[in-house]
């Protein structure tokens, strides 16, 4: 098991993240003496679904430590009992879940601020250490079960099964949509929107369903933490900007599994979005695991000039651009240069396919792998990191 950046809180907390990101393994390793209740086990699930109050019987009377409840969204009414046990017995709970949808939809007791909220993401380059392999990460992503599978064919088989499991277990069993065939077509159509401003009407036409249905489908992806809509950065904007968010599946390997490929597809149509996805998942992981507090955006003018990612917060303003090519042209810098004209206090970074690290005016240019490894310092250190 890889050591994760996320540190265990000292009081009760929710830990949300997609299936397969390692929430359960992390929780059990972090709290080895905890009472462990897995709601994916049918006996535990059915018992607590019938009577949530039975959770207390499963916790020994003298137990004073942690209790882990895995996939808590499957029995939302448990949270009333958890709240009671926190108050009455001073127990600490680690509550993991792969979907906040049920909790939000039911309006259940979210412990009235007595529990923190944390997020788990795919592995990062920092967590992988010497095992990090850029080509492998772009090919199959960075889910823990994928990365420990040394055979690429077996890793791809796992990803295929992973996608089907979500369709079967999360979407079908939770009753999130009645038409699985249409949802399957939607997933393929959505993969063509990876890393691009989202046009819901176009996706609806491609999968032959109504626009409102597609909007609901994108909400399902976000609720299951499988997809992200990245808003436009608009603070004190002087230029005319686009209105639509960009869309990404949460992991490069999941994206490549869903994206149909054929003889008419050029490498840049898939490799470019995969590079962006890998950077985004690392940005999200560091931001959440290290508690950096940035909000994530992108920036795009109506004329088509773009910065892939913009991070804004108390630690500063960062603009990051991704280029697949090993050689940069002047046009490759244009989006960052325009952004710096509007926001001269920003730190600008361009990750590219070359091998040389250098400064181009106010823009720091880094080889992609070196950039990924430098991210924790760049983001956490703010201006001090760049000065060093």
CA separation (Å) from 347 to 231, 339, 357, 364, 387? 20, 10, 16, 8, 11
**Closest to 190 (Cα-Cα) out of 163, 156, 227, 137:** 227
In this structure, what token pair is assigned to residue 60? 């020994």
Decide if pLDDT at 108 tops 70: no
CA separation (Å) from 158 to 145, 150, 165? 8, 12, 10
In this structure, what token pair is assigned to residue 69? 């409840």
Spatial distance between the Cα atoms of 149 and 151, rounded to a whole number of angstroms = 6
Decide if pLDDT at 383 tops 70: no
β-pairing verdict for 92-97 and 246-249: unpaired
The full set of domains in the chain, from first to last, is: 13-119 (3.40.50.300), 125-387 (no CATH)
Q: What is the per-residue pLDDT across 272-302, written as a single tens digit (0 to 9) for each?
A: 999 999 999 999 999 999 999 999 999 999 9
Q: How confident is the model at residue 218 (pLDDT cuts 50, 70, 90)?
A: very high
Put the strands of the sheet holding 196-197 in their side by side order: 196-197, 246-249, 227-230
Q: Give the pLDDT score at 112.
A: 60
- Taking 3-state DSSP, the helix, strand and coil percentages for the chain, each rounded to the nearest 5, stand at 45, 20, 35
Q: Give the pLDDT score at 268.
A: 76
Decide if pLDDT at 24 tops 80: yes
Decide if pLDDT at 166 tops 90: no
β-pairing verdict for 35-38 and 13-16: unpaired
Q: What is the per-residue pLDDT across 149-162, written as a single tens digit (0 to 9) for each?
A: 889 999 999 999 99
Average pLDDT, the chain: 90
Q: Give the pLDDT score at 171.
A: 74
pLDDT above 70: percentage of residues in the chain: 92
> Are 12 and 93 spatial neighbours (Cβ–Cβ below 8 Å)?
yes
Q: Give the pLDDT score at 110.
A: 60
| Mean pLDDT within 310-327 | 95
Q: Is 265 helix (H, G, I), strand (E, B) or coil?
A: coil
β-pairing verdict for 363-367 and 116-119: unpaired
Enumerate the β-bridge partners of residue 37.
Answer: 69
Cα 264 versus chain centre, distance: 30
Put the strands of the sheet holding 363-367 in their side by side order: 295-300, 306-313, 316-322, 347-352, 363-367, 358-360
| Residue-by-residue DSSP string for 68-98 | EEETGGGSTTHHHHHHHHHHHH--EEEEEES
Angle at 259 between CA 256 and CA 261, to 5 degrees: 100
């Amino acid at each position: 098991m890889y050591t994760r950046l996320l540190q265990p809180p000292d009081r009760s907390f929710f830990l949300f993240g997609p299936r397969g990101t390692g929430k359960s393994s992390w929780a059990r390793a972090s709290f080895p003496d905890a009472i462990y209740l897995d709601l994916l086990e049918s006996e535990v699930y059915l018992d607590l679904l019938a009577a949530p109050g039975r959770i207390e019987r499963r916790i020994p009377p003298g137990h004073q430590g942690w209790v882990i409840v895995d996939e808590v969204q499957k029995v939302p009414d448990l949270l009333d009992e958890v709240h009671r046990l926190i108050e009455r017995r001073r127990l600490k709970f680690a509550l993991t879940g792969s979907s906040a949808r049920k909790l939000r939809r039911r309006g259940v007791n979210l412990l009235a601020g007595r529990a923190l909220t944390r997020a788990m993401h795919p592995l990062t380059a920092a967590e992988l250490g010497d095992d990090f392999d850029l080509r492998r990460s772009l090919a199959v992503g960075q889910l823990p079960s994928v990365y420990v599978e040394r055979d690429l064919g077996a890793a791809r088989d796992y990803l295929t099964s992973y996608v089907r499991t979500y369709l079967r277990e999360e979407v079908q069993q939770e009753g999130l949509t009645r038409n699985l065939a249409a949802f399957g077509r939607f997933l393929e159509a959505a993969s063509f929107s990876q890393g691009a401003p989202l046009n819901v009407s176009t996706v609806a036409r491609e999968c032959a369903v109504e626009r409102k249905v597609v909007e609901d489908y994108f909400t399902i992806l976000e609720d299951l933490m499988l997809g992200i809509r990245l808003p436009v950065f608009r603070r004190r904007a002087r230029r005319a900007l686009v209105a639509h968010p960009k869309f990404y599946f949460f992991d490069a390997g999941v994206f490549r599994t869903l994206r149909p490929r054929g003889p008419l597809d050029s490498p840049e149509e898939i490799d470019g979005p995969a590079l962006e996805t890998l950077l985004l998942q690392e940005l999200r992981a560091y931001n959440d695991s290290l508690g950096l507090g940035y909000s994530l955006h992108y920036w795009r003018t109506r004329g088509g000039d773009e910065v892939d990612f913009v991070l804004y917060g108390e630690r500063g303003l960062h603009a990051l651009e991704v280029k697949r090519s090993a050689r940069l042209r002047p046009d490759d810098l244009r989006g960052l240069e325009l952004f710096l004209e509007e926001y001269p206090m920003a730190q600008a970074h361009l990750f590219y396919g070359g091998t040389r690290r250098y400064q181009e005016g106010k823009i720091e240019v880094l080889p992609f792998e070196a950039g990924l490894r430098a991210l924790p310092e760049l983001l956490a250190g703010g201006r001090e990191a760049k000065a060093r």
